[in-house]
Structure 1
Amino acid sequence: MTAQPMVKDPAGPWAPAVAGHLRWVHGLLSGVDLLAEHRDALRSRLWAVRSRADDPELRVAVFGETSSGKSTLLNAFLRRRLLPSSARVTTRTTTVLRHREDAEGLTVRTDEDVVLTWPSQSFDDWAGRTPGTDGRRLEDALHRVLTTDLADRVRGLHVLTDVALLGGDVTVIDTPGFSVTDAGHRELAEEAARQADVALVVVPAVAALSMTLVDFLTGPLRDHHDRCAFVLTKLDLLDEDEHPETVEVVTHRLRELGFADPVLLPCAPGRALTEALAAPPADAAAPRPGPGGPGHLAPFLDVEAEIVRLAADRRRSAVAATVYGLLSDLLAAVEETTDGRRAELTRSRAELAALTLPDFTEFLDGWAGRARGRVGSDPLLTASPDVLAASREQLAADIDDAVAGNKINNTAKAAEEVSRLVRLHLRERAEQQVRAAVRRAGELLTEAARELAQDFGRQYDRLAGLAGETTATPPAPAVDRTEPPAPDLSGIDEALATIGATLVTSDNWRTGGGAAAGALVGSMIAPGLGTVIGGVLGAAFGTRSTDATRQQFLDRARPVIAAAHDEIDSLVADCVRRVRRDAHAGIDALRRRYDTTWREEIDRLTAAHDRQLDQLAAAISAAEEAAAAARRRREEVLALRRATSATAHATDPQEP
């Protein structure tokens, strides 16, 4: 391995700028309204950038397509066949090689997030034994992990070796072939690109710069053009006279892809490793002829020395570029997260504003208006003509039945029966209609109270939730289930008596002794009304035929009964109107009770809701300002990144 002095403290003028941006992000995460998972994700990325900025280690990642010779190149650097060459090598993972003086080792992170170290019994239990080996060499352990079904269970692999690859404080990362179609390979290579300070791209001479490689160079490695070196491998598979042309063609193509001055290092790592292993240990670095032609070890050693020199010369700028890249990604994530949060908060505020409780007075007035409307339009509370007509028809039918057939022959008895029917019917119909109105008014009041309680509960819950409280729905004020007071019906009885007295004094009813007899009978049945009807019926008493007597009886009785019915209907309508007024008064009382009980609480919640709207507005403004600041800071970091790239090419190599 080519010796190279270690370079401690690679930090340069970029360190204060990075620290300032990181402090800003740290303060932002404590001051901006973000979801917990978003804040945790940004803090994790912040920690990663800070750790990378504080780490003096130079990370060199080796990229290439499958079978391009990545593992062979690393084995040549190590001067041993440590990494197996297999189609399954580094399946779904990256292999990180670090230097350790005292002893070799291996750390595996499994797909179950279990960390195993080699050598250990737990590792042996997990990996088992490789047939034909004793399992005590690092090569055997790596072969077992990388070339068997275990490879599908590996999520991370660290190799510790006593060889200081490419100089001191250098970590080398062997990445999966990004041309493999298996899930996860390209993603792992892209993640390694984000962490790499220097990129070594392995380009096989027999298949140089395929479309897949070009896509990777212009995609994940687009930020590495100033810290990228190309190792042109497998030259031993070409005729020697083809080498210059191949180098020229690849160099020209790289320039077309944006690499202004590409570092292209041709070699044959596989042949060089064979020669190094065949040479005596003391002469391992000396050129040695290979089979059928000049040696491949010496050119490889030159390539290795050039890589070591580039790593040392551009160490500071390369690490700075990585840190700037990670910081730029962090600031982009901050911008995206805060801008997304601003959009979420804006939507929340719009929804909050749209779902506010209506004005409490308007809410109660609306309920009271609907309740009054239902009371005012209910048939039982309006004494509708249909109900009255049915009552009249029923009474007429009952009277016809009372004088049917030979019943009219006993005029006194018929008069007594008709008087009783009229009195009972009108009194009963009055009571029924008024009581039905009272009962219906009670039902409507109860329904209206239940509706008010439900609507108020929903609105209260919504307002409490929008105000950020978890207060349970308040209990609705109690509503008495008792019906409104029944109107006094004594006036109806008085009206019946008054109607009878008025009719008795009419000239139309002065008919002689028969009338007096009928009146006497009627007065015994029902005061007032009985007298009237009895007088009418008594006047009809005579020797006429049954049908004629019945007809005369009915002709005289019907106008009086109709007038009585009209009077009673009018009085009933007055009673129903009083019931309706009482129902309206109950509605007004319940409205006042709600207003008295909950006005202060609603005002408090409304004020809390308004404060929450103001808080959301402030959070929206803060998130918007944070996104804009992150965008400006990212532009500053990108400018520093460009300046670092220019400095790396324009200054002395030892001070990039």
Structure 2
Amino acid sequence: MTEQLVGDGTAASWTSTVAGHLRWIEELLDSLGLPAERSGELRARLGAVQARAADPQLRVAVFGEASSGKSTLLNAFLRRRLLPSSALVTTRTTTTLEYLGGAEGLKVRIADDTVLEWPSVPFARWAGMRPGPDTMERALERVLTTELAEDVRALSVHAPVPLLGSGVTVLDTPGFSVTEPGHRELAEAAARQADLALVVVPAVAAMSLTLVDFLTGPLRDHHDRCAFVLTKIDLLDDEERAEAVEVVERRLRDLGYVDPLLLPCAPGKALGEVTGGCRERDGSGHLAAFLQVERRIGRLAADSRQSAVAATVLGLLSRLLSAVEETAEARRATLGRDERELAALTLPDLTAFLDSWCVRTLDRSGAEMSAATIGMSATSRTKLYGKVDDAVAGEKINDLAAAAEEVSRLVRRHLRQHAERVVQKAEHRAGELLTAAAEELARDFTAQYSALAELAGEARTAPRAASVAWPRPPTPDMAGIDQALTAIGARLTSGDNWRTGGGAMAGALAGSLVAPGIGTFIGGALGALIGRRGADATREQFLRQARPVITAAHEEIAALAAACLPRVKEGLAASVVALRRQYDDEWRDEIARLTEAHDRRRAELAAGIAHAEKTATTARRRRDEVAALRRETVPEPEES
């Protein structure tokens, strides 16, 4: 902080206070843990306030809409037609005008941050001008009104005449009413840096909505350090001038300007009298009136220098403290969200996490494996009946013993295959369930682990999914099934079954009816003859007696096959437990370490949240102190 601004006790008071606030902000930025971009932005704003507080120059910014007479007013201050008219200006920067002991020149900073000075060969080369003697008017015209303007980032004009007194820098801002992108933003930026504001109001189009919007917006903090230059009054007659002054003053009071300083003049006419040499001898011309306006502005600049600079610096500091408060609040919100997300993670309790997965997997597998075999028995039984029908079709039934043997063989083979398919399908479904459950575990574990590592402040690669091994369980013991199948075969091939039934019984009945006196022997012989001739009847009787046996056999084998499923479930449970143990063995220590980091991070977040809350509160209190200091330092305008 420089002491150049100190002129009295009041100045010493506010400069010392500002220095303290700036030191607090500078020390604070290292402790907030902000992202680099946001930290850099606040440091840049801090540097701007420090530089502005150390700058002894009084900055007077000239504002106005396009074609309001702003450039003409500045040229009248310069006593020459140096600046091109606003209708031609296309630059997207604010022009700084300074007095440097009678010297004249230009400094242009272009897009690549190169600084070019006029007159010089590099400047002439950049501007496309011939080397050699030239005028600053022509150089400015090239800079401000051609395509070169797109490359201009800063422009400084060293004027050969003092402007509004010593130690005064004048800022020529772009017209804030133009549609050219960035012009209003430049005017607003100049307002934040301006100690005094000169607002150009054309008498022929005074107090437009655009002007009112700018006065109540960017210039709302300049009510106590603002002057209004009513230009182009030469275009009105005396009665119209008085009316225009009255209307503008009344409108400004309505906007909150208690005693607005309104300065009517005709800068264009005054400039014409200077450059054309046609002054009124009695001093009643436009130049005389303009010189009075210039002196009023000069006195305002001299009388309010300290308070105006204080208002600017304190205003910039207040906005900086507001930005610090907003940043601290945003930081607190971010840390709070991280803390809530971290607290919601369940992975630190690895045992509970894995146990929950085991229970969920085994519950699901028990239900799904049973469901996988439902419906197999009915389909299998239907197919078996079809095979038996084929085995005794046509003339095959004539050799009843062979038919019975074939039926016995195919029933035993079918039932054995059915039992194996039930077990195989259960095994296959168990493998699918284990694979899906392992993928689910890997996905959930990886997501939880990654989130935990990130929120714990570590950049770690998520773990790879553990490999899944589903060894096919040993073939279930089907000895009981084989014994049952042997007994079924014996029942199906029993000779007594078929010799005493079927055609024989039908023939015996027929013999007794045809020749009752012959006796059962003849009836039996006749019955045998009828049986041989009745293949369909024999087949029907065979199937009628065989199907109950086959149905009972199928149900018995299905029950025996189902009895093998617990062995499959035991194998699945063993694989689930093995996978759980693998996760526990591989990650127990890592999760314990990460859990400790998790706890430390939560503690850090809690401390960060508290620090951010304290910072926001302190910044808010300091901003209020700065506002109070501004009210003490900058006197309120007196009632007229």
Could you tell me which runs of 5 or more consecutive residues in structure 1 were left unpaired when the two chains were aligned: 1-6, 280-287, 501-525, 651-656
Cα displacement (A) at 1:20: 1.0
CA distance in 2 between partners of 1:122 and 1:310 (Å): 40
Residues 215 and 553 of structure 1: is their aligned pair in 2 closer, same or farther, counting only changes over 3 Å?
closer
CA distance in 1 between partners of 2:298 and 2:410 (Å): 126
For residue 634 of structure 1, what is the amino acid of its counterpart? Answer: R
For residue 73 of structure 1, what is the amino acid of its counterpart? Answer: L
Q: Does 1:195 align with 2:193?
A: yes
- The answer to whether the 8 Å contact 1:271/1:290 transfers is no
Aligned residue for 2:101? 101
Q: Secondary structure at the match of 1:488?
A: coil
Aligned residue for 1:513? none
Aligned residue for 1:174? 172
Q: CA offsets per residue over residues 273-312 of structure 1, 9 Å max, x none?
A: 4555567xxxxxxxx9517973555554444344333322
What pairs with 1:71-90 in structure 2 (closer than 5 Å)?
71-85=71-85, 87-89=87-89
Alignment root-mean-square deviation, CA? 4.0
Cα displacement (A) at 1:56: 1.0
What pairs with 1:471-550 in structure 2 (closer than 5 Å)?
471-496=460-485, 499=487, 529=490, 533-534=494-495, 536=497, 543=525, 544=528, 545-546=531-532, 547=534
Aligned residue for 2:307? 317
- The answer to whether the 8 Å contact 1:29/1:39 transfers is yes
Aligned residue for 2:613? 624
CA distance in 2 between partners of 1:187 and 1:389 (Å): 83
Q: Secondary structure at the match of 1:485?
A: coil
User: Could you tell me the TM-score, scaled by structure 2's length?
Assistant: 0.80
Aligned residue for 1:290? 280
What pairs with 1:411-426 in structure 2 (closer than 5 Å)?
411-426=400-415
Aligned residue for 2:333? 343
Cα displacement (A) at 1:23: 1.3
Aligned residue for 1:284? none
Cα displacement (A) at 1:155: 4.1
Q: Secondary structure at the match of 2:494?
A: helix
For residue 107 of structure 2, what is the amino acid of its counterpart? Answer: T
Residues 304 and 551 of structure 1: is their aligned pair in 2 closer, same or farther, counting only changes over 3 Å?
closer
Residues 212 and 370 of structure 1: is their aligned pair in 2 closer, same or farther, counting only changes over 3 Å?
closer
Cα displacement (A) at 1:52: 0.5
Of 131, 136, 148, the match for 2:134:
136
Residues 306 and 423 of structure 1: is their aligned pair in 2 closer, same or farther, counting only changes over 3 Å?
closer
CA distance in 1 between partners of 2:406 and 2:205 (Å): 125
Aligned residue for 1:30? 30
Residues 56 and 555 of structure 1: is their aligned pair in 2 closer, same or farther, counting only changes over 3 Å?
closer
Cα displacement (A) at 1:60: 1.6
Cα displacement (A) at 1:17: 0.6
Residues 145 and 329 of structure 1: is their aligned pair in 2 closer, same or farther, counting only changes over 3 Å?
same
Q: CA offsets per residue over residues 178-237 of structure 1, 9 Å max, x none?
A: 344444333322222211112233445555555544443343333223223344445555
Aligned residue for 1:117? 117
Q: CA offsets per residue over residues 604-631 of structure 1, 9 Å max, x none?
A: 4455445444433433333333222222
Instruction: Tell which deviates more after alignment, 155-164 or 21-30.
Output: 155-164
Of 566, 573, 579, the match for 1:590:
579
- The answer to whether the 8 Å contact 2:345/2:448 transfers is no
Q: CA offsets per residue over residues 46-97 of structure 1, 9 Å max, x none?
A: 1000001011111122233444443333333333332334522475433211
For residue 120 of structure 1, what is the amino acid of its counterpart? Answer: S
Q: Secondary structure at the match of 2:87?
A: coil
For residue 430 of structure 2, what is the amino acid of its counterpart? Answer: A
Q: Secondary structure at the match of 2:141?
A: helix
Q: Does 1:644 align with 2:605?
A: no
- The answer to whether the 8 Å contact 2:106/2:117 transfers is yes
Q: Does 1:49 align with 2:49?
A: yes
What pairs with 1:566-581 in structure 2 (closer than 5 Å)?
566-581=555-570
Q: CA offsets per residue over residues 410-429 of structure 1, 9 Å max, x none?
A: 45544544444444444444
- The answer to whether the 8 Å contact 2:57/2:168 transfers is yes
Aligned residue for 1:331? 321
Q: Secondary structure at the match of 2:12?
A: coil
Aligned residue for 2:511? none
Cα displacement (A) at 1:29: 1.5
Cα displacement (A) at 1:157: 1.9
CA distance in 1 between partners of 2:420 and 2:243 (Å): 120
Q: CA offsets per residue over residues 133-162 of structure 1, 9 Å max, x none?
A: 986121221233334554565443211133
Q: Secondary structure at the match of 1:376?
A: helix
Residues 109 and 555 of structure 1: is their aligned pair in 2 closer, same or farther, counting only changes over 3 Å?
closer
CA distance in 2 between partners of 1:196 and 1:316 (Å): 13
Cα displacement (A) at 1:558: 5.7
CA distance in 1 between partners of 2:550 and 2:68 (Å): 119
CA distance in 1 between partners of 2:189 and 2:323 (Å): 16
Aligned length: 605
CA distance in 2 between partners of 1:188 and 1:382 (Å): 75
Aligned residue for 2:517? none
For residue 184 of structure 1, what is the amino acid of its counterpart? Answer: G
Of 594, 604, 619, the match for 1:615:
604
For residue 326 of structure 1, what is the amino acid of its counterpart? Answer: L
CA distance in 1 between partners of 2:365 and 2:301 (Å): 92
CA distance in 1 between partners of 2:322 and 2:389 (Å): 98
Residues 67 and 594 of structure 1: is their aligned pair in 2 closer, same or farther, counting only changes over 3 Å?
closer
Q: Secondary structure at the match of 1:178?
A: coil
Cα displacement (A) at 1:98: 1.2
Aligned residue for 1:372? 362
CA distance in 2 between partners of 1:194 and 1:411 (Å): 115
- The answer to whether the 8 Å contact 1:441/1:583 transfers is yes
Aligned residue for 2:510? none
Cα displacement (A) at 1:268: 4.4
What is the aligned-residue identity percentage? 60
Aligned residue for 2:219? 221
Q: Secondary structure at the match of 2:29?
A: helix
Q: Secondary structure at the match of 1:139?
A: helix
Aligned residue for 1:14? 14
Could you tell me which runs of 5 or more consecutive residues in structure 2 were left unpaired when the two chains were aligned: 505-523
- The answer to whether the 8 Å contact 2:204/2:232 transfers is yes
Q: CA offsets per residue over residues 563-621 of structure 1, 9 Å max, x none?
A: 55554443333223333333334334433443444344445445544544443343333
Residues 632 and 534 of structure 1: is their aligned pair in 2 closer, same or farther, counting only changes over 3 Å?
same
Residues 101 and 490 of structure 1: is their aligned pair in 2 closer, same or farther, counting only changes over 3 Å?
same
CA distance in 1 between partners of 2:300 and 2:215 (Å): 19
Aligned residue for 1:453? 442
Residues 218 and 487 of structure 1: is their aligned pair in 2 closer, same or farther, counting only changes over 3 Å?
closer
Residues 294 and 555 of structure 1: is their aligned pair in 2 closer, same or farther, counting only changes over 3 Å?
closer
Q: CA offsets per residue over residues 380-434 of structure 1, 9 Å max, x none?
A: 78764x4334444444544454455554554554454444444444444434443
CA distance in 2 between partners of 1:625 and 1:110 (Å): 43
Aligned residue for 2:514? none
Aligned residue for 2:515? none
CA distance in 2 between partners of 1:559 and 1:237 (Å): 123
